[in-house]
Amino acid sequence: MADPVIPASAGDDPCRIDIGGHLVSATWTRAGAPLADCVIAHGAGAGIQHPFLTGVAREMAAGRVSALRFNFPYMESGRRLPGPTASLVRAWRVVLSHISQHGQERPVVAAGKSMGGRMASMLAAEEGDAFPAAGLVFFGYPLHPPGKPAQLRDAHLSRIRRPMLFIQGTRDALAKIDLIEAVVERLHPLARLHIVAEADHSFRIPREPRSPEEVGGAVGRIAAEFVREIVTM
């Protein structure tokens, strides 16, 4: 049985999610007449209140996809290091299980910034056809450590049985663009790639004065279009 989600207060629909005895913060951004729900995990260094994720969630909701952002337990506890991979994958399993069992019977998509997306992909690879989400969206998949393109983190991706969207910047230090192109080509037809020219790992573009929330909104619109496509096929 999934750990319970405990409502917090009205307004922006915040809630607290119990993950193995650790209550973590989460926030719903609701869409009008939603076609799907999207669960969004943060990256290694910033939680769900980061303006980038706020922008992603708001634009996805504007595109008829309700978004649920959640913190991993380490972030909620104020720790800097994410800790064991198994604990991060468990967090994903708990949240997706709750959405599947207690949601509105809409399709669910798993998405994440950097590490958060990678952890979703590891769960999807582990569960195969049993993975409860209809697809995955990666906002800057961390294909390799900075400056170490030989250390690829792609071996598990071929075991995923769901459509995938990789949104990647051409200046991403954690994913050389030629390498991510090769990975997506190998995963075809389940995977596709959206390239953001000149963008880094945070999707910042030189000499382009956009706020982090505006940057998140731009990729959120791309993600919402993908979600609408795969849930209405």
Phi, psi for residue 66 in degrees, rounded to 5: -70, 140
Q: pTM (2 decimals)?
A: 0.93
- pLDDT given for residue 13 in this prediction: 87
* pLDDT single digits (tens) 24-53: 999 999 999 999 999 999 999 899 999 999
Q: For residues 36 and 134, is the Cβ–Cβ distance under 8 A?
A: yes
Top CATH class of 5-231 equals alpha beta
Q: For residues 37 and 106, is the Cβ–Cβ distance under 8 A?
A: yes
Q: Which residues of the chain have pLDDT under 50?
A: 1-11
CA distance linking residue 24 with residue 198, whole number of Å? 35
**Residue listed under structure tokens 């992603």:** 56
E strand spans, 91-229: 108-113, 136-139, 164-169, 191-196
Reduced to 3 states (helix: H, G, I; strand: E, B; else coil), residue 33 is coil
- pLDDT given for residue 20 in this prediction: 87
Q: For residues 70 and 24, is the Cβ–Cβ distance under 8 A?
A: yes
Extents of the domains making up the chain:
5-231
